[in-house]
């Protein structure tokens, strides 16, 4: 057997003195080697250089250990200046241990993330993916203050993907696998015989041991999905020999039950990978993690069979005595049975968060508020060097609200927020609070306004306005302030009570509309003033009652129109005086009744029009005076005027249209004066007086006495056409 070492940049021949090569599934490979040099070497010049150890024999395949120099120690050995070199060589993938980062990956599978990490370190070409299934896409994965090596191993272990370093002729590669498809037969030798059962001195095994250990026999995983909070996300896996040794974990890292079952099964396989293993020694230098071989000839039949190498440690040495060079080699190996499942284990867990962190809210370009259906937002962290400033910066994060039962407040662009993490996992962030900074500071200057508590929401999309609820707690200045930058709507589903112990002022710049479904009652202990700059309209569907304990005054600058669909009745216990500068018009579909306990006086500067569908009745306990500057028009089916004292009516012209009866009654004098004419038209006209009736027209007088005598006084009396003429007493002037 021969050993040969090559290191880029190493001048002169190097003779291997001894080496130890360690390899394991999902752990990589390292080589500790000591060589003799013809001349000293600068150790620093070798760091990072490619190195390769070649093991060969006459009849077997050549075995390689490739990598880069991670550590070198050169020393002077003798007086001739010959030196020695001790070097630590590691597979290239181990250089990931010397890169630490904090970054975010979104909507990528574990394979995508690992490949991206390898590409970023110039190692992408060494990856060989032999997965039998496509890894699921993960919404959000965080690497925080973690070496690339720990990060990659953690993800691969969580996904159930193992890897092995394969040393090919020219370079080392990394083979990723999720089942035995990633293993390969051992090159050149497929079977190793137990040394006690053969005369062979090469490619044998000895000291074969079988190790059994207690392990978990059941795995239960449970998680939660905010889109389906009532769904039971529980998944489990059991071994055939389940004795109750169960491993329960939450969160399980899944939102799909089938995915949870796969993860539970792979977790069980990982935990049981170490509960049954075989180990031994061999002189075969072709043993390599991920290679398949068989053991035959062992006295215990259970130790014979197909195995898969999981770990090796090759030791070799070269001794020179009396000009004779001898080499030695031995390999300690561990393996699993071919049928047993294997999953990677031992990865370093991600760092748990030691407390909340700060971040800034991000939105798409041109937007100030950006949420999803659940009010979640996205943020960017100070430690994120990729510095995305839009909605690609992170995953959606739920926002803790200030109170239970319906609060909904959305952080806005560039708000500094407090980000916490469920169960300390950075892949499960949420926003728990809001912080002020010098750019987005408090709404009121402090400490001057320290007695104020304010809840503000600024106008979005431009503008200086803000909706606000503010509390002032300063002694003597206590106040609750509400401001709506535009509209304000108050909705009360049952009773609403508004109580002010002192004054209340309401100012409305535009219209004011009030709708009351049933009764509207308003009580004023003192005076009440209502000033209407424009028109006022009062519409009452039922009864309208007004009760004035003192005087009531109504002044109408222009026309006043009163329309009554039924009867109209006016009752005045004292005197009634009505003065109308223009026209007074009363229209009643039914009747119109005016009842005055005392005297009634009505003055109308223009026309007086009263049109009633039925009766028109006017009663006065005292005298009644009606003065109309223009025409008086009365129309009704029945007309009745009654007064307990004198009745005086003056009009430029009077027109009375009565389809039924008309009665004018005055207990004292009755006077009708018309500046124009008086027209009475009816089928029957009855004028009744207790003593006499006198008709005056210029110089003519006709008087009818209760005694039966009729006297006519006129300058001229024309009796032409009279058929019968009784006693006539003529008295000349």
Q: Are residues 214 and 276 in the same domain?
A: yes
CATH of the domain at 74: 2.30.110.50
Q: Mark which of 38, 58, 93 sits at the end of a domain.
A: 93
Asked whether residue 345 is domain-assigned, the answer is: no
Residues 191 and 299 in one domain: yes
The answer on 301 and 196 residing in a single domain is yes
Indicate if 156 and 71 belong to the same structural domain.
Answer: no
Tell me, yes or no, whether 667 and 721 share the same domain: no
Q: Can you give the pTM of this predicted structure? A: 0.73
pLDDT of residue 564: 67
**Domain presence at residue 722:** yes
Domain-located, residue 395: yes
Q: Which of 308, 305, 288 is nearest to 296 (CA)?
A: 305
Specify whether 700 is located in the same domain as 682. Answer: no
Name beta bridge partners: 330. 315
The single residue listed with the structure tokens 């004023």 is 524
Q: Are residues 140 and 248 in the same domain?
A: no
In a domain, 488, yes or no: no
**Does residue 677 sit within a domain?**
yes
Q: What tokens does 409 get?
A: 């407040």
536 assigned to some structural domain = no
Based on the fold, state whether residues 193 and 302 are members of the same structural domain. Answer: yes
Quote the CA–CA distance of 287 and 55 in Å, as a whole number: 12
Asked whether residue 436 is domain-assigned, the answer is no
Q: What is the pLDDT of residue 681?
A: 66
Side-chain half-sphere exposure of 251, counting CA atoms within 13 A: 15
Q: How many domains does the chain have?
A: 7
The boundaries of the domain holding residue 424 are 352-429
Q: The CATH number of the domain where 112 resides is what?
A: 3.55.50.10
- End of a domain among 93, 115, 131? 93
Give CA separation, 663 vs 242, 331, 596, 615, 666, in Å: 116, 141, 18, 11, 10
| Residue 531 placed within a domain | no
At 251 the three-state DSSP class reads coil
* Together in a domain, 304 and 217: yes
DSSP-assigned letters across all residues of 188-211:
S--EEEEGGG-S--SSEEEEEEEE
The pLDDT value recorded for residue 696 is 75
163 and 143 housed in the same domain = yes
Are 301 and 364 part of one and the same domain?
no
* Tokens encoding 30: 């390292």
Regarding whether 572 and 683 lie in a shared domain, the answer is yes
Identify the pLDDT of residue 539. 78
What's the average pLDDT block by block, 10 residues per block, for the chain (733 residues)?
Answer: 90 86 97 88 91 86 95 73 86 98 96 98 97 92 96 97 95 94 88 88 92 93 94 94 88 93 94 92 95 94 93 95 88 95 92 91 94 96 89 95 86 96 93 94 94 92 86 95 92 92 90 87 85 78 74 70 68 74 79 83 85 86 84 85 83 78 75 66 70 76 81 80 60 53
- Contacts (Cβ under 8 Å, ≥6 apart) of 378: 361, 362, 363, 370, 391, 392, 393, 394, 395, 396, 397
Among the candidates 38, 59, 93, a domain finishes at 93
Long-range contact pairs involving 133-137 (C-beta distance under 8 Å, separation at least 24): 133/178, 134/109, 135/109, 135/110, 135/111, 135/159, 135/161, 136/109, 136/259, 137/107, 137/108, 137/109
């Amino acid at each position: 057997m021969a050993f040969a070492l090559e290191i880029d940049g190493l001048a002169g021949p190097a003779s291997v003195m001894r080496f130890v090569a360690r390899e394991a599934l999902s752990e990589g490979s390292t080589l500790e080697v000591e060589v003799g040099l013809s001349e000293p070497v600068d150790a620093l010049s070798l760091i990072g250089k490619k190195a390769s150890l070649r093991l060969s024999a006459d009849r077997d395949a050549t075995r390689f250990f490739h990598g880069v120099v991670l550590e070198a120690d050169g020393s002077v050995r003798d007086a001739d200046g010959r030196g020695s070199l001790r070097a630590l060589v590691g597979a290239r993938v181990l250089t990931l241990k010397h890169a630490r980062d904090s970054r975010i990956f979104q909507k990528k599978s574990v394979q995508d993330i690992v490949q991206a990490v390898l590409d970023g370190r110039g190692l992408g070409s060494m990856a060989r993916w032999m997965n039998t299934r496509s890894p699921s896409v993960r919404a959000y994965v965080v690497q925080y203050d973690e070496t690339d090596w720990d990060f990659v191993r953690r993800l691969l272990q969580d996904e159930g993907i193992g890897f092995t370093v394969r040393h090919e002729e020219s370079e080392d590669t990394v083979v990723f696998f999720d089942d035995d498809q990633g293993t390969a037969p051992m090159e050149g030798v497929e079977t190793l015989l137990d040394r006690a059962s053969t005369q062979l001195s090469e490619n044998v095994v000895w000291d074969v041991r079988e190790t059994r250990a207690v392990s978990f026999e059941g795995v239960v995983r449970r998680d939660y999905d905010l889109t389906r909070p009532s769904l039971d996300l529980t998944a489990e896996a059991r071994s055939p020999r389940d004795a109750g040794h169960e491993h329960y974990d939450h969160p399980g890292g899944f939102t799909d039950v089938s995915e949870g079952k796969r993860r539970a099964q792979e977790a069980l396989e990982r935990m049981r990978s170490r509960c049954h293993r075989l180990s031994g020694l061999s002189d075969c230098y072709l043993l390599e993690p991920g290679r398949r071989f068989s053991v035959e000839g062992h006295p215990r039949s259970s130790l014979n069979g197909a195995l898969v190498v999981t770990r090796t440690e090759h030791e070799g040495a070269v001794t020179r005595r009396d000009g004779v060079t001898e080499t030695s080699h031995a390999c300690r190996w561990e393996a699993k049975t071919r049928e047993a499942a294997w999953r990677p284990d031992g990865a370093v867990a991600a760092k748990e968060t030691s407390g909340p962190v700060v971040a800034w809210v991000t939105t798409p370009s041109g937007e100030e508020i950006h949420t999803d259906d659940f009010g979640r937002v996205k943020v960017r962290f100070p430690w994120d060097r990729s510095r995305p400033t839009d909605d690609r910066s992170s995953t959606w994060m739920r926002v803790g609200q200030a109170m239970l039962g319906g609060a909904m407040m959305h952080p806005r662009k560039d708000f500094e927020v407090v980000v916490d993490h469920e169960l300390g996992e950075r892949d499960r962030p949420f926003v728990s609070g809001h912080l002020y900074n010098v750019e987005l500071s408090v709404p009121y200057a402090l400490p001057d306004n320290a007695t104020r508590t304010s809840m503000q929401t600024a106008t979005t999309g431009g503008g200086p306005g803000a909706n606000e609820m503010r509390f002032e707690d300063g002694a003597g200045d206590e106040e609750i302030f509400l401001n709506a930058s535009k509209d304000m709507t108050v909705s009360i589903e049952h009773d609403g009570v508004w109580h002010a112990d002192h004054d209340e002022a309401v100012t409305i710049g535009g219209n004011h509309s009030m709708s009351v479904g049933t009764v509207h009652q308003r009580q004023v202990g003192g005076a009440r003033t209502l000033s209407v700059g424009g028109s006022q309209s009062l519409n009452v569907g039922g009864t309208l009652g007004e009760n004035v304990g003192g005087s009531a005054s109504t002044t109408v600058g222009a026309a006043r129109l009163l329309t009554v669909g039924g009867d109209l009745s006016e009752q005045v216990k004292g005197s009634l005086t009505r003065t109308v500068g223009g026209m007074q018009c009363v229209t009643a579909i039914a009747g119109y009744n005016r009842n005055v306990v005392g005297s009634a006086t009505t003055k109308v500067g223009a026309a007086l029009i009263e049109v009633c569908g039925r009766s028109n009745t006017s009663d006065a306990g005292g005298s009644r005076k009606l003065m109309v500057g223009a025409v008086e028009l009365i129309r009704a089916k029945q007309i009745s005027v009654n007064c307990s004292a004198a009745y005086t009516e003056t009009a430029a012209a009077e027109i009375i249209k009565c389809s039924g009866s008309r009665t004018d009654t005055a207990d004292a004098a009755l006077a009708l004066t018309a500046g124009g004419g008086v027209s009475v038209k009816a089928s029957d006209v009855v004028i009744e007086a207790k003593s006499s009736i006198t008709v005056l027209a210029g110089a003519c007088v006709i008087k009818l006495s209760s005694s039966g005598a009729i006297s006519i006084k006129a300058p001229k009396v024309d009796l032409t056409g009279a058929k019968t003429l009784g006693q006539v007493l003529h008295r000349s002037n």
